[in-house]
Every structure is written in C-alpha cells, then in structure tokens.
Amino acid sequence: MQQTFRLVIDCPDQVGLVAAVSQFLADQQATIVEASHHTDAKLGRFFMRHEIKTDTLKLTLDKFKEAFEPIAKQFAMQWKISDSLQKQKVALLASHESHCLIDILHRWHSGELDCEIPCIIGNHPQMKQFADWYRVPFHWVDFKNQDKKVAFSQIEALLEEYQADLTVLARFMQILPDNLCQKLAGKAINIHHSFLPSFAGAKPYQQAYDRGVKLIGATCHYVTKDLDEGPIIEQEVIRISHSDSAEDMVRKGKNCEKAALANGVRYHLQDRVIIHKNKTVVFA
C-alpha cells in the first residue's frame, strides 16, 4: 500500500486559507491524492482534508508538522497530520453477540480495515473462540461477580496496556461510565441497533416492532456520556413489513449494524471524520 500523509484541518473560514494550505503543499512537492473541503456557512467554519503522496514529498512527518505550524497558528486551526503507514491500534469490546465482532475481524483480516487489533475484551467469555481464530488476545472482564466500577477499571487498564488508539464497542452491552466516556472522547465508537434518535436505550428492535415502523436501522456514533446521543458517523436502514417478526427484525437489522459500524470505523481510521460540537463532517 502506497504511503500517504493525511492533513486534516478545522478552523474559522476566511479568504486565503485554501491558498495558504495548497501553496504550502505545492512548495513541498506534495501530490494530492484526494482533497475534500466543506464550508459551514452557518457556523463560519471551514473543514479540510488532504491526502498526499509521500514519494515526492520533501519533508518527513515531523518536519512537516514543524513547517506547517506557522500557517496553522495564523489561521487558528485545529489540525493533525497522520501517516498512513502508522497503523492505529483498535481495541474491540464485545458481549455475547458475534456478528459485529466477526465482521470487523474479517474486514481487518482481509485488509479492508487498515489497523492493528491488539485485543478483544468481553464482559462474557463466549467471544474467546473467535478471538482465538483470529489470533487476537482475549480478555474476559467479569461484570457479574464483581462491582461494575472494578470491571470498568480493568477495561481501562487493558486499553492503556494495549495503547488503544480507538475503542470499538461491537455490540458491547454495558454502558460506559462518564469518566471513561470523557477519557475516550472522539476515540470510542459505538453501534446502536436503531435509527437514532428513534429508539435509544434498551431493546430498540422491540421498540420498533411495537411502534410499527416500516424501516429499521442502525447508527454508528462516537460515545459520549449521554447514552446514544453522541455525534453520528454513519446510519443504515432496511425495509420491513408487518410480516416481519421481532426475530426477523433482529436478523435484518444485523446487516445494517455491520455495514454502519464497518463504514464508521473505516472513516475514522482514514481520518475522514471531523467532530464539530455534536455533529460530524465525514469526507466519505
């Protein structure tokens, strides 16, 4: 895979901004593979992502950061640059449902998701078999026989030990405590099995069944302390009818969950998502 740098910028909108950035890139002999811009006229804010080839580039990542800093300061940018070859470490949290876990694992194993998966953590032991198949260390954190606080501190310790850059809740059925949500802000992705904001909370398929909706869905979002209210990255829906039982809805919904989660994680890993307040810009 070709090495690229990804330069992601979020700043107040103003004339001359794009010129300054693109002149800088041209001066460094950067070949632009992909460029995405978004102006939020209401907020007066500008969002920008460049993916550039490194083969003709004059600068290393560190030198790039140094050289770009003055421009960043001038335009009051929030920004980052990342190297596509430095793989992010993605920790997976799961419970007893395997479909999202297996889907992420397979996409990683086949090279579709470009990351490392240093560990899988379960609050049930069942997922160990799949972890073993994919040769990923599995940790069972017991939520039944010990206090939840203790259990979550164990999870926190594991995430630190494995130096997780991203934590993915692949149908993890425990609600993260506020302090962990804050610590993982913008670095933890959840999949909720409804088309949010409809049917937040428990048993969304049952809620959907009871309300008689004609489409169900899934929502991939960043975790925040307000349950199921974090910035949405991706959503999927599928048509249902009166003839679908609650069990049929679960089956259909799983396809949505897998698709939305896989896209959301990929967008994040490729630095395609910028969080602004409680919304996202996704340069898909």
Between 73 and 242, whose beta carbon lies closer to its own copies? Answer: 242
Between 44 and 179, whose beta carbon lies closer to its own copies? Answer: 44
Between 202 and 212, whose beta carbon lies closer to its own copies? Answer: 212
CB of 186 to its own copies, least distance (A): 15
| Residues whose CB falls within 8 Å of the CB of residue 260, separated by 6 or more in sequence, listed in order | 191, 217, 218, 219, 220, 234, 235, 236
Catalytic residue among 10, 103, 228, 244: 228
Beta bridge partners of 166: 90
Question: Side chain identity at 68, as an amino acid letter?
Answer: F
| Residues whose CB falls within 8 Å of the CB of residue 140, separated by 6 or more in sequence, listed in order | 121, 122, 123, 124, 125, 128
Between 77 and 164, whose beta carbon lies closer to its own copies? Answer: 77
CA distance 70 to 87: 27
Contact 90, 166 (CB under 8 A): yes
Rg (CA), the chain: 21
228 is catalytic: yes
CA distance 129 to 99: 13
Contact 169, 188 (CB under 8 A): yes
CB of 97 to its own copies, least distance (A): 9
Give alpha helix (H) positions in 188-275.
Answer: 204-211, 246-269
Element (H, E) at 78: strand 78-83
Between 158 and 270, whose beta carbon lies closer to its own copies? Answer: 270
Applying CB under 8 A, the residues found at the interface with its own copies are 13, 15-16, 18-20, 22-23, 25-27, 29-42, 47, 56, 98-99, 102, 106, 110, 112, 133, 195-199, 211-215, 217, 231-235, 237, 239, 241-243, 245, 251, 255, 259, 278-282, 284
Catalytic residues: 228
